[in-house]
Chains A and B, each alone.
Chain A
Amino acid sequence: MNPSTLASPAFFSVDGLVGVVFLIMVAITIVGGLIACNSERLVRSVAGLVVCFIGVAGLYFFLNSPFVAMMQILIYVGAVAVTISFAIMLAAPEEKKKIGPSSILAGPLGFATAALLAGGFAVLALRTEWPILKKLNDGSMKNIGLQLLTDYSMVFELVSIVLLVAILGALVIARQGREN
């Protein structure tokens, strides 16, 4: 043990806190997701979604990618959540969630699907060899930009087509509404 570690007692070191903060981020993500799914009022669901997004941004930060973390907040909290709130406010003011009569099979089927997905992800997570030791790159904007326009340009273009389809779909729906 070198003198510098003796000089600063354990309480003042940040390294021990990192694990705690990571767990807090995981908890924020899960709690936000639960609020988003289970709340009665739609605006509260949006609030839950915002909390969830912030938790996910925190996880990205831990994965050594501050750029993606900041983009997560900027796009999902600043744009997507605000747009969803707009949609809610423009729609009919409905207080309670509509819960229609569901079939007997809905519960077991839902549970089975969830179990299958969770199991599949668990198997995937355990079987994959995670390249933790190999740091891919420094996660800087320049590297991400280069990768997106060289190795992953196909994915990049496909994503932009998805966005284009979404915009066209929104226009079509809006057009129909105008004729009514």
Chain B
Amino acid sequence: MRLTLLNVIVAVVLAIAFAALNAAYLVWAERRGAARIQRRPGPNINGPFGLLQPPLDGIKLMAKQLTIPGGADKIMFITAPVLAMFPAIMSFVTIPFSDTIVAKNMSVGVLMIFAFASMGSMSLLFAGWSSRNKYSMMSSVRAVSQAVAYEIPMLITTITVVMIAGSTDLMEIVHQQSRSILHWNIFPLLGNSHNLLMPFSFLIFFICTLAETNRAPFDLGEAESELVAGFHTEYGSMGFGLFFMGEYANIVIGSCMTTILFLGGWSCPFGLFPGVWWFILKLYLLIATFIWIRWTFPRTTIYGLLNLSWKILIPLSLFNLLFTAGLIKVF
């Protein structure tokens, strides 16, 4: 297929539309899910099942004035929310949803997604610093230390999968798992690895995704009881909206990566009708787990959070890396 400007524009528009639609309707899903867990109705007035709530919220946010606090660094205050959304949309470019549905498959796909995901912490940092608010500042320091701490075990676990697959091409990684459910990277026996620790690396990866997207129980960056609303305390209107959408877009990307690296991407568990629907199913099951975890677990403390990463997850993932390397060498 020849690459034309039209293709590029269509791909970019689709990526943005997918990210934005997901962000909008995941807010709805989150609120309905929370309500269900807390035994209350949730948003159910606007439209059937409250489905019109996200567009109405969007209109409300867009109609509001963007206020910039007096002492704030104006340029960075405006740039930060854009930076929250930009890496998420860039990452959608290389995520393969099925054999054919991918904007641009790259041989360094895994690297590209982690490269742009690592830019997300810059946005939190700039937002907190430029607001000129001590709660925002503390929150951004927390959020960044958290992001740095959990990026390490996440990358090490990903390297384990990349070693097993022998490729950083996301499509190639999925193709190797596509024979049956037992060949998925999460399962140890029949797969490519024979590594008994693979379920644990899946768990480590999932915990890291939770932490990297600043989700409860790891949402120390916006701990309402301590820091007002964290780094987005001073943001109103669409500035706040962009941070919100960025968070949900990152959840989608994290779940996409978990699906691709561990759950066989678009391949079917029984070898029947592989296609994009399996990918979507796995993706939304993972996202539902995210929401479920958020509303069932209490928030940890910042020390607990950092200790979990530096004292447990990093040694475990390093051991797993060495173990996998040994197994690959032996078999």
Contacts and interface: CB of A to CB of B under 8 A. Distances in A.
Interface stretch (B13-21, B43-51, B106-114, B255-263): B106-114
Contacts of B111: 67, 70-71, 74
Contact of B129 (A14, A43, A71, A74): A43
Given A43-B76, A82-B144, A70 B4 contact: no
Contacts of A44: 73, 75-76
Given A67-B108, A70-B108, A70-B112, A14 B122 contact: no
Contact of A12 (B5, B114, B130): B5
Contacts of A66: 106-108, 112
Contact of A74 (B3, B4, B5, B114): B114
Contact-residue size bin, chain B (C-beta under 8 Å from the other chain): 20 to 34
Nearest to B116: A73
A43 B79 CA distance: 13
B144 A11 contact: no
A145 B151 CA distance: 23
Interface in A83-110: 85-86, 89
Nearest to B166: A142
A147 interface: no
A17 interface: yes
A47 B107 contact: no
A82 to B, nearest CB: 6
A9 to B, nearest CB: 10
B144 A78 contact: no
A43 to B, nearest CB: 5
Interface string B219-240: 0000000000000000000000
A113 B239 CA distance: 45
Contact-residue size bin, chain A (C-beta under 8 Å from the other chain): 20 to 34
Contacts of B141: 86, 89
A141 interface: yes
B119 A17 contact: no
A63 B141 CA distance: 36
A78 B115 contact: yes
Given A43-B76, A67-B108, A71-B111, A86 B5 contact: no
* Secondary structure dominating the interface of A: helix
B118 A8 contact: no
B8 interface: yes
Interface string A37-70: 0000101100100100000000000000011001
B121 interface: yes
Nearest to B126: A47
A13 interface: yes
A27 interface: no
A79 interface: yes
Contact of A14 (B3, B79, B137, B151): B3
A14 B168 contact: no
B40 interface: no
A47 B73 CA distance: 12
B121 A78 contact: yes
Kindly name the residue among A12, A70, A86 whose own CB sees the greatest number of chain B CB atoms within 10 A. Answer: A70
Nearest to B114: A74
Contacts of B121: 78, 82
B5 A14 contact: yes
Contact of B118 (A12, A17, A47, A78): A78
A12 B6 contact: yes
A140 B6 CA distance: 28
Given A14-B8, A47-B76, A141 B108 contact: yes
B125 interface: yes
Contacts of B112: 66, 70
B82 interface: no
Interface of A: 4, 8, 11-14, 17, 41, 43-44, 47, 50, 66-67, 70-71, 73-74, 77-79, 81-82, 85-86, 89, 140-141
Interface of B: 2-6, 8, 73, 75-76, 79, 106-108, 111-112, 114-116, 118-119, 121-122, 125-126, 129-130, 137, 141, 144-145, 147-148, 151, 168
19 contacts: A4-B2, A14-B4, A14-B5, A41-B73, A43-B76, A44-B73, A50-B119, A50-B122, A66-B107, A67-B108, A67-B111, A74-B114, A77-B115, A77-B118, A78-B121, A82-B121, A82-B147, A85-B144, A141-B107
